[in-house]
Amino acid sequence: MSNHEHNHDHEHDHNHSHDHNHEHSHGALPTILYFIGLGAFILSYFPFGTLTANILATVTIFLSGYHIIIEGFSDTISQTKENRKFTPNVHILMAFAAFGAAIIGDFKEGALLIVIFAGAHFLEDYVEEKSKKEITNLMAMNPTEARLILDNGDTKIVPVGELKIGDHLQVLNGDQIPTDGEILSGFANIDESSINGESIPAEKTTGDFVFGSTMNGQSSFTMVVTKDSSDTVFAKILELVNQSQSNLSKTATKIKKLEPKYVTLVLVSITLYIILMPLVFGHTWYESFYKGMVFLTVASPCALAASDVPATLSGISNLAKRGVLFKGGSYLSNLVDIKAFAFDKTGTLTQGKPSVTDVYFLNENKTEAENYKNIIVAMEKQANHPLATAIIEGIPVTEELDLVVENQIGHGLVTSIQQDLYKIGKAEQFNVLPLQLEQKREEFAREGKTVVLFGKNDHAIGLIAMMDLPNEKAVDMIKYMKQAGIHTIMITGDNEVTGQAIGKTLNVDDVKGNVLPENKAQAVEELQKVYGQVAMVGDGVNDAPALVKSDIGIAMGEGTDIAIDVADVVLMKNDLDQLTYAHRISKRLNRVVMQNITFSMAVVLLLVVLNIFGKMNLPIGILAHESSTILVLLNGIRLLKPLK
């Protein structure tokens, strides 16, 4: 998707080393064998005699440890072949420790090690699955069938995959909309929460676009297919979700690369330890071998391996539920390192459409002013420019007038009422422009407002000022960014005056005006030179090059495919509050991962030191070591909880 070539080399070389990031499913067999082995382990404590107890413990090692042993040896062999160098994993350490304990006659301790390690391993899988499930719930929403309208007018249920662009479909009440398209006839209230997380249904009618996977309300309509099922907005979201599972964070990638080196070091150290202890310190072979097995257990980096991925997946799931989609763990963990946020103005920091801010008449009295407003709205109802809608929606009327209006190109709108000629247009279209009105017009223009004048018989007598108002959530978001020490920049194609006016309202640090869409990427590049890591927030369409250029591209979604294609993060609801929320989750994720790494390394160090001084036996080592892994997992899963 996004070709963030520069610093996005997020090692997509996930060679699926089945270390602790098991991207494979264990199926039911290991679970069944685990419980049979567990039964054997419990039986080994019954008074059957030593031989029977040892046989039962051996059964436990091989059955409960089935997938640990298989993963330990088969993955080490396949990875070693693939990388052309010895690439062991954590599981092989555990398999060796269990076999070693059995060799020196401590069968039950070897079995205990396997039972606890495999149990923790299943728990970790469960945590990862739980985090993924939040995201994969989306998959269940993927439509499978459609009602195709045949040439003779009948309908036939067909698989969505068989639909072609141009096919006509019928959508009945309560149906799931099968694919992206346009309404041909009828109207609908559509629940679009699967696309944008918005709970209020959207009203749609002829000519409006509808999205696959959304749910139709209580009416039925016909539609034409406008996209191949693999190109729908929902298909893009699913693709994005799948990516987020495989794109690991920097920390997880580092841990993954470090693991084989660490395991090799442990294996070499233990071999030397077992050989040298009897020779140098005069220990018995049993003692040195037993201590070696304890060492093997406590030095295994299980907790370290589990310190990042479950936490990152939990953070991504938490955000996915709120309509914030991350293309990968790396973007979520890097968000906290961003030093500057660049924002597109229109539709991102502003509402994206003009609104009336001021209506002003010279020496007005109330009745006259109301009469003028009625005339203005009635005239604008006959016009078709974008400002007309703003005027109709923004000026209240006391009476609906029916006027004959002429749209004179270059002159504006003209109508006559009882010998008086009324006009709406630019300043230069009036013969008389009183000074007071001219001053007011200049004052509004300085505030970045668009001004149209209203006149009677070629005398300008009033004006209407409009502007694209700030997105009310932008103010809080900018305030948060400032508190977090992040520089904020607004980039706009508008003139400097309008840009500065909006920038001032929102309190952004910097405004770059008159920037053409093709120069936005260049503006981002300049910011990178000054601030380092820069995120760009835009609405996707004309911001695509800038989103790609930035370190993290964040698109205001509302279902635009181009945004989903090029961005690293998509705010499906166009809700800037969620950007603040995502930054807070990123901060928390980095905190949790650091806690996990520090804690897991401290536990390993403590257990190794205690073992050297003879203060550690195998059962206590196993319990302490596996408890630390479970604590790390539980700490990570806290990120599933919504922040206050």
Q: Tell me which residues are annotated as active site.
A: 344
Cα(310)–Cα(503) distance, integer angstroms: 40
Cα(516)–Cα(462) distance, integer angstroms: 34
HSE (CB half, 13 Å, CA atoms) of 74? Answer: 8
Q: Nearest-CA neighbor of 20 among 598, 600, 506, 529?
A: 600
**Strand bridging mode 534-538 / 340-344:** parallel
- At 285, the amino acid letter reads W
Cα 356 to chain centroid distance, Å, stands at 35
Instruction: State the virtual CA torsion across 434, 436, 439, 443 in degrees, nearest 10.
Output: -130
Spatial CB neighbours of 155, under 8 Å, sequence gap ≥ 6: 147, 148, 149, 170
**Strand bridging mode 534-538 / 552-556:** parallel
DSSP string of 53-103? HHHHHHHHHHHHTHHHHHIIIIIHHHHHHHHTS----HHHHHHHHHHHHHH
Cα(144)–Cα(159) distance, integer angstroms: 6
Q: Nearest-CA neighbor of 187 among 208, 215, 166?
A: 208
Cα(642)–Cα(635) distance, integer angstroms: 14
SS3 610: helix
Q: What are the start-end ranges of the H helices in 457-575? A: 472-483, 496-506, 520-531, 544-549, 561-566
Cα(20)–Cα(312) distance, integer angstroms: 14
State the maximum Cα–Cα separation within the chain, in Å, rounded to a whole number: 120
- DSSP structural state of residue 464: E
HSE (CB half, 13 Å, CA atoms) of 319? Answer: 33
Q: Nearest-CA neighbor of 356 among 504, 439, 497, 464?
A: 464
Spatial CB neighbours of 230, under 8 Å, sequence gap ≥ 6: none
